Amino acid sequence: MYKITGKEDLNDQDYYIEVEAPHVVRHWRPGQFVIIMVSDRGERIPMSVATVEDGRVGMFIKKLGKTSTQLYREYNVGDSIYAVAGPLGNPVPLANYGTVVLASDAVCAHAEQLGLAVELSKLGNKVISIQTFKSENEVYPDKYLAKKLVDEHYITTLDGSAGFKGHFIDLLRELLARRDVKAVYAGGALPSLKKLAEATVGKGVRVYTLVRQIMVDGTGMCGSCRVRYNGGIAYACRDGPWFDAHLVDWDDVLRRDARFKRVEKLALEKYLAR
Ligand SMILES: Cc1cc2nc3c(=O)[nH]c(=O)nc-3n(C[C@H](O)[C@H](O)[C@H](O)COP(=O)(O)OP(=O)(O)OC[C@H]3O[C@@H](n4cnc5c(N)ncnc54)[C@H](O)[C@@H]3O)c2cc1C
Ligand code: FES
């Protein structure tokens, strides 16, 4: 069992939760993820790692379906969850590129920014972070943003209520035109990542994206997270989850992510009705 040591709202939808998991802290590198189980009969859900400190792992979680909602509603500091498996997947490839942009528009990617910012800075990069939220009231508290870890930090909101008005892709287009950006690390909503891949192809910039696919075992055994990649097949859990955006078949990724929407909706409705 893994004890919960911290829990805090990030906005109306997203929350921070911290659990004791020293085995993960010892081996984790940015880009790797964990799979948690809330109870022994619960589903296995993959989560990015936002913070690692003194044997504790912090995650940013969106209340999206049954399990993420149940964890928020029924578990508090001092309670324990059943499993935290990991670290799983590969560390994201990092190098000294010069100027690098980190971009995120959803919970998992905001989490990934923190570790990436630290490591890319250590390697000598100038790191620019862009974090997109729907509106001002969804922007995370300062301590959970990449703000203090990077050279330049931008908030964008879709409605323009805070920071730059628009999506990270809009601001990134401007940066690519004015600055010598050599690499982009982006995660978030899959349709945005598809657009990002299209907007940057042939521009001489390396683009790594977090390809979130539905996972079961998380070790390459079940085939659930398969991604059509570079003309072949890859598995997000075993070969990713970070991939070169220009080599991913995004239409296939989008199709596969929607496979269980109907049963997921039913599971949440059933849980809420209980
Ligand atoms: C590598 C990776 C990192 C992730 N990091 C985060 C994170 O930091 N924060 C966060 O909130 N979410 C993250 N996710 C997504 C998270 O796993 C799903 O939101 C979660 O499984 C939802 O479970 P649920 O029961 O609440 O919702 P459900 O209703 O079961 O699912 C809602 C949606 O979540 C996705 N999903 C559901 N089950 C899985 C599964 N087993 N594997 C992958 N995706 C699934 C699908 O898009 C689905 O439509 C990550 C996924 C992957 C693959
Ligand atoms: S989750 Fe089973 S192969 Fe990736």
Let me know if domain 2-88 sits in CATH 2.40.30.10.
Answer: yes
Instruction: Give the mean pLDDT of 248-272.
Output: 84
Distance of CA 61 to the CA centre of its chain: 10
Report the atom number in ligand 1 closest to the C-alpha of 216.
41
Q: Would you tell me the crossing angle of helices 168-178 and 190-200 to the nearest 10 degrees?
A: 20
3-state secondary structure at position 193: helix
Write the CB contacts of 234 (distance below 8 Å, at least 6 apart in sequence).
226, 227, 240, 243
Choice from 10, 34, 48, 64 to test ligand 1 binding pocket (greatest atom count within 8 A of CB): 64
Return the closest-CA partner of residue 127 out of 109, 144, 150, 110: 150
**Pocket around ligand 2 at a 6 A CB cut-off:** 215-218, 220-225, 235, 237
Q: Which ligand is nearest to the CA of 240?
A: 1
Report the atom number in ligand 1 closest to the C-alpha of 210.
1
The two three-digit tokens of residue 16, written as one number? 């921070």
Q: Is 47 in the pocket of ligand 1 (CB under 6 A)?
A: yes
Which parts of the chain are beta strand (E)? 2-9, 14-20, 33-37, 44-48, 51-53, 56-62, 80-81, 83-88, 99-104, 126-133, 152-157, 164-165, 181-187, 206-210, 226-229, 232-235, 242-244
> For 75-129, what is each residue's pLDDT tens digit?
999 999 999 999 999 999 999 999 999 999 999 999 999 999 999 999 999 999 9
Report the atom number in ligand 1 closest to the C-alpha of 109.
8
Whether 52 shows a pLDDT value over 90: the answer reads yes
Q: Is 189 in the pocket of ligand 1 (CB under 6 A)?
A: no
The sign one gets for the Cα dihedral 137, 66, 82, 188 is: negative
Class of CATH domain 99-210: alpha beta
pLDDT at 266: 80
Q: Is 226 in the pocket of ligand 1 (CB under 6 A)?
A: no
Check whether the bond before 241 is cis (ω within 30° of 0). Answer: yes
Q: Which ligand is nearest to the CA of 71?
A: 1
Report the atom number in ligand 2 closest to the C-alpha of 214.
1
Amino acid at 118: V
Q: Which ligand is nearest to the CA of 226?
A: 2
pTM of the model: 0.94
- What are phi and psi for residue 179, nearest 5 degrees? -125, 160
pLDDT at 93: 94
Tell me the domain boundaries of the chain.
2-88, 99-210
Choice from 35, 44, 224 to test ligand 2 binding pocket (greatest atom count within 8 A of CB): 224
> For 176-191, what is each residue's pLDDT tens digit?
999 999 999 999 999 9
